[in-house]
């Protein structure tokens, strides 16, 4: 399957989710290609730190690909991997559209109570344009990232997201936890922090990933 983290708003957590999903899939034995389709190079930087921390054993293959050609290149590479995860930048770019055209699933993280929810109307239009040109529909999932620790505080945002017809809202919030920046700065994920593991963070994101991938496999810290 080909998964793309997308959305129009900067800093919503696309790269964090793409990196975590890649590592989560690879820990289940899948051969995964992570495509950095953002010129900022966040996923590439993460992978470079990861190479240092893990002595080169990052657990997946990384390539940087941007521009309209991305769609064709993904087509030629897809038979070589079990799954492809594409991280895109937070704008309506040629790269993001090309990635969405090439994908089976779009993963759209949304921060609660932010302008992200209200700017989704524009992204919905982009999705509709893409859907109109596809032979099979693109599955588009939204979920709350950096959600409030108290569940009740996320309710209004969750209701707003579940009302959007063009995207399927997954009610598995990934809460705002320091485990993300703490692990990311070493090129690691919350799954790889050993004794310092934040089990709540692991459980939340695992629930989300099971829903996205429709698999039911336990990932241990």
Ligand X SMILES: Nc1ncnc2c1ncn2[C@@H]1O[C@H](COP(=O)(O)OP(=O)(O)OP(=O)(O)O)[C@@H](O)[C@H]1O
Give the three-class secondary structure for 175.
Answer: strand
Q: Residue 9 interacts with Mg ion (CB under 5 A)?
A: no
Q: Cite the DSSP H helix spans in 28-174.
A: 42-53, 70-77, 94-102, 115-132, 155-162
Q: Residue 14 interacts with Mg ion (CB under 5 A)?
A: yes
**Shortest spacing between CB 133 and ligand X, in angstroms:** 25
**Shortest spacing between CB 14 and Mg ion, in angstroms:** 5
Q: Residue 145 interacts with Mg ion (CB under 5 A)?
A: no
Give the three-class secondary structure for 111.
Answer: coil
Q: What is the C-alpha to C-alpha distance for residues 15 and 150, in angstroms, rounded to an integer?
A: 24
Residue 43 contacts residue 23 (beta carbons within 8 Å):
no
Q: Residue 15 interacts with Mg ion (CB under 5 A)?
A: yes
Choose from ligand X, Mg ion, none: what does 112 bind? Cβ within 5-8 Å by kind: none
**Residues recorded for the chain:** 221
Q: What is the C-alpha to C-alpha distance for residues 26 and 21, in angstroms, rounded to an integer?
A: 8
Choose from ligand X, Mg ion, none: what does 24 bind? Cβ within 5-8 Å by kind: none
**Shortest spacing between CB 197 and Mg ion, in angstroms:** 24
Question: Which residues bind to ligand X, rule: CB under 6 A?
Answer: 10-16, 38, 40, 42, 89-90, 145-146, 174, 176-177, 180-181, 184
């Amino acid at each position: 399957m080909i998964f793309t983290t997308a959305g129009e708003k900067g800093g919503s957590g696309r790269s964090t989710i793409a990196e975590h999903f890649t590592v989560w899939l690879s820990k289940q034995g899948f051969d995964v290609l992570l495509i950095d389709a953002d010129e900022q190079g966040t996923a590439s930087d993460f992978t470079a730190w990861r190479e240092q921390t893990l002595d080169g054993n990052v657990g997946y293959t990384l390539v940087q690909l941007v521009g309209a050609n991305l769609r064709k290149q993904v087509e030629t590479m897809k038979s070589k991997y079990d799954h492809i995860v594409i991280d895109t930048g937070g704008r309506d770019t040629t790269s993001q559209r090309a990635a969405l055209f090439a994908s089976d699933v779009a993963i759209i993280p949304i921060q609660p109570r932010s302008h992200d929810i209200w700017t989704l109307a524009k992204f919905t239009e982009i999705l509709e344009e893409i859907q109109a040109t596809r032979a099979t529909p693109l599955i588009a999932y939204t979920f709350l990232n950096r959600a409030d620790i108290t569940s009740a505080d996320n309710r209004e945002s969750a209701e707003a997201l579940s009302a959007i017809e063009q995207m399927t809202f997954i009610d598995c919030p990934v809460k705002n936890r320091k485990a993300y920046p703490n692990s990311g700065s070493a090129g690691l994920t919350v799954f790889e922090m050993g004794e310092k593991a934040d089990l709540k963070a692991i459980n939340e994101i695992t629930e989300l990933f099971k829903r996205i991938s429709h698999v039911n496999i336990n990932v241990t810290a």
